[in-house]
Amino acid sequence: MINQFRKRLITLTTIFVAIILTTAFAAIFLTTYLKQKSDNLEKLNQAEQLRITGGKVTFDEKSDDMVEINRIVPGAGVYFNMLVDKSGKPMMIDSALKLSKKQYHKAAKYAWKNRAGGVVKINGREWQYVVAPAIAKFDYGSKEQSVEKDDETYLMRFLDITDSKKSLSSLAITLTIVGIGLMLLFFLVIIYFTNRAIRPMEEAWQKQKQFVADASHELKTPLSIISTNVGVLYTSKDETISEQLKWLDNISSGIDRMNGLVNNLLRIAKTDTSFEQLTISEVQLDRVLENSFSHYEAKFEAKQITVNKMIAKVTARTDENLLGQLFDIFMDNASKYTNKNGSFDLILGTKGKETTIKFKNTGDGIAEEDLPKIFDRFYRTNEVRQKYAGSYGLGLSIAQSIVEQLGGKIEVKSSVKEETEFTICLSSKNSRDGKYKVIS
Ligand SMILES: Nc1ncnc2c1ncn2[C@@H]1O[C@H](COP(=O)(O)OP(=O)(O)OP(=O)(O)O)[C@@H](O)[C@H]1O
Ligand SMILES: [Mg+2]
């Protein structure tokens, strides 16, 4: 699911970036193209500046000579004009270029055929042309080319657009190459940032998946015990209940285990969702701790554990319920994991803004390699897994989550076959939004 989400996010972002890039580049290309088109048209339209002076035709109000001789008008581009009669035959050529008569005639023929305007290829170059009626009727000097006043004449203007076309196509190539390069770069950047953004989500998703898998696995064990033992009962229907007690005990312990597990799972669900929903009030920590201890006192006594209490009076603003749950988890562990005739130290003290609660007990202890794992959900050390039926490996993970909510931290020290010490530090400094605040 996360992978699908990642793929979709990358695809959508890439499409979005591609659209923006393409639009930007298309806009650059289109503006250049339109500018060039209008420039060319402007240059071509200058063809209408045909003048009559003293019965003779001139272009651009210049003398006859200047029309025929090399004439370069700055900004007008490379062009030539032709005056043609009503059958499209050239009557006069105004050109500064060295083209053969044949080529001019070929150009005129083509342009006459396609009078609406277009592009013709002459001498390996492309010429855009316009054909327009000459602006006036006039006489032209020489006998053989004389134009009567009312003769219909047309003006053709050819503009060399080879270079502008070339520059346009090289712009298109440049934009395509830069576009592809940028797209590749953006694609890599998008992948990098998407992966970074998704990582915490992926971790949470993995944890959730692991949790569901572990919870199902843990539930399967007592369920299979129950179903096996029920199966045995069915095969011996004629026996009395007291004769079947062994199977019934197994079923009952399976039910107890499932009950404990489900309760713990509910507690986890509650601590996970109750984030931000704390009920803060003035709480006497020493009382909550004593109260929690009283729940387990009988267990300590049964194992003849020496309990040493050093409990200072501490009042703080915090969530009493959560705190009670937290203390219960450590009391439960101490009562379970302290060896018979061992000892248990319970210490509560405060220093400035910081409150420390210590739970120290003798016993098997926790091996160094197990220490980082004991806060993981469903983690139990091997000895505990074998010895204690009522252990689910959920207590410390719940404790961790509670302490996180209150803005504190848990530290653990242990030496195998000697002792284990858990220290909870709650501090006004670390706790944002006043979730924990020492009053006295
Ligand atoms: N006071 C302790 N002394 C020695 N080992 C401990 C102590 N507290 C916890 N541990 C070790 O850490 C493991 C995890 O403890 P945690 O409280 O999370 O689970 P649990 O006690 O096994 O089961 P649960 O609390 O869910 O009933 C325990 O299985 C045990 O191996
Ligand atoms: Mg526990």
CATH number of this structure's domain 278-438, picked from the four choices 3.40.50.1980, 3.20.20.70, 3.40.50.10860, 3.30.565.10 = 3.30.565.10
Distance 363 CA to ligand 2 centre (A): 14
The residue whose CA is least distant from atom 28 of ligand 1 is: 380
Whether residue 55 is predicted with pLDDT greater than 50 in this model: the reply is: no
Dump the DSSP string for 268-291. Answer: HHHHHHTTT---EEEEEHHHHHHH
**What proportion of the chain, given as a percentage, has pLDDT over 70?**
87
Determine whether the shortest distance from the Cβ of 88 to ligand 1 is under 6 A: no
- 199's CB contacts (< 8 A; 6+ apart) are none
Token pair belonging to 141? 């000097």
218 lines ligand 1 (CB under 6 A): no
CA–centroid distance, 224 to ligand 1, in Å, is 24
Q: Which residue has the tokens 């019934």?
A: 248
Q: Which residues contact 385 (CB under 8 A, 6 or more apart)?
A: 391
Q: Ligand 1 centroid to 387 CA: how many Å?
A: 12
Task: Evaluate if residue 431 carries a pLDDT over 70.
Answer: no
pLDDT computed for residue 50 by the predictor: 52
| Ligand 1 nearest-atom number relative to CA 379 | 14
Mean of pLDDT values over 255-279? 79
pLDDT of residue 143: 47
Q: From the CB of 251, is ligand 1 less than 6 Å away?
A: no
Using 50, 70 and 90 to split pLDDT, how confident is the model at 98?
Answer: confident
| Dist. CA 333 → ligand 2 center (Å) | 5
Residue 70 has pLDDT above 50, yes or no: no
C-alpha separations of 40 from 32, 43, 82, 122, 204 in Å: 12, 5, 18, 18, 63
Q: Which residues pair with 319 in a beta bridge?
A: 280
- List, for residues 101-143, the tens digit of each pLDDT value: 888 999 999 999 998 889 999 888 999 998 888 755 555 555 4
**Considering every ligand atom, which ligand is closest to the CA of 393?**
1
Determine whether the shortest distance from the Cβ of 384 to ligand 1 is under 6 A. yes
Average pLDDT over residues 64-69: 40
Instruction: Tell which atom from ligand 1 comes closest to the C-alpha of 396.
Output: 18
Is the CB–ligand 1 distance for residue 401 below 6 Å?
Answer: no
Identify the pLDDT of residue 10. 93
The band of 144, judged by pLDDT with boundaries at 50, 70 and 90, is very low
Q: Which of 271, 379, 396, 423 to mutate to test the pocket of ligand 1 (most atoms within 8 A of CB)?
A: 396
Non-local CB neighbours of 354 within 8 Å, separated by 6+ positions: 425, 426, 427, 428, 429, 438
Please report the pLDDT score of residue 151 as a whole number: 67
Could you give the dihedral angle defined by the CA atoms of residues 166, 172, 176 and 177, in that order, rounded to the nearest 10 degrees?
A: 30
- Residue 440's nearest CA partner among 316, 310, 312, 285 is 316
* Confidence at 67, pLDDT banded by 50, 70, 90: very low
Could you say which ligand is closest to the alpha carbon of residue 422?
1
- pLDDT of 66 above 50: no
Nearest-atom index, ligand 1, CA of 394: 26
Please determine, for residue 36, whether its predicted confidence score (pLDDT) is greater than 50: yes
Q: pLDDT band at residue 327, thresholds of 50, 70 and 90?
A: very high
Q: Work out which ligand 1 atom sits closest to the CA atom of 334.
A: 1
Q: Find the 408 Cα to ligand 1 centroid distance in Å.
A: 20
pLDDT at 412 (0 to 100): 97
Query: What pLDDT score does 432 carry?
Result: 60
Predicted pLDDT of residue 210: 82
Mean pLDDT across the stretch 277-304?
92
CB neighbour burial string for 387-424, b if at least 16 within 10 angstroms, e if fewer: eeeebbbbbbbbbbbbbebbbbebeeebeeeebbbbeb
User: With 50 as the cut, is the pLDDT of residue 69 above it?
Assistant: no
C-alpha pair distances (Å), 296 with each of 302, 330, 430: 10, 10, 31
| Torsion angles phi and psi, residue 117, rounded to 5 | 110, 155
How far is the C-alpha of 52 from the C-alpha of 141, rounded, in Å?
11
- Mapped onto helix, strand or coil, the DSSP state of residue 244 is helix
Q: Over 60: is that where the pLDDT of 64 sits?
A: no
Please state the rounded mean pLDDT for residues 303-322: 94
**In angstroms, what is the span from residue 296 Cα to ligand 1's centroid?**
15
Average pLDDT over residues 64-68: 41
User: Is residue 331 within 6 Å of ligand 1 at its C-beta?
Assistant: no
> Is residue 400 in contact with ligand 1, taking CB distance under 6 Å?
no
**Do residues 302 and 342 lie in contact, with contact meaning Cβ atoms separated by under 8 Å?**
no
Per residue in 193-247, pLDDT (tens digit) is 999 999 988 888 888 888 888 888 888 888 988 998 999 899 988 888 888 898 9
Would you state the pLDDT for residue 62?
45
Minimal CA–CA distance to 406: which of 423, 378, 431?
Answer: 431
Please work out whether the CB of residue 380 comes within 6 Å of at least one atom of ligand 1: yes
pLDDT grade, residue 48 (50/70/90)?
very low
pLDDT at residue 179, rounded to an integer: 94
List the CATH code of the domain at 49-160. 3.30.450
Expressed in angstroms and rounded, the spacing between residue 249 Cα and the centre of ligand 1 is 25
User: In angstroms, rounded to a whole number, what is the distance separating the alpha carbons of residues 293 and 329?
Assistant: 11
- Residues 333-351: tens digit of each pLDDT: 999 999 999 999 999 999 8
Q: Average pLDDT of 379-405?
A: 86
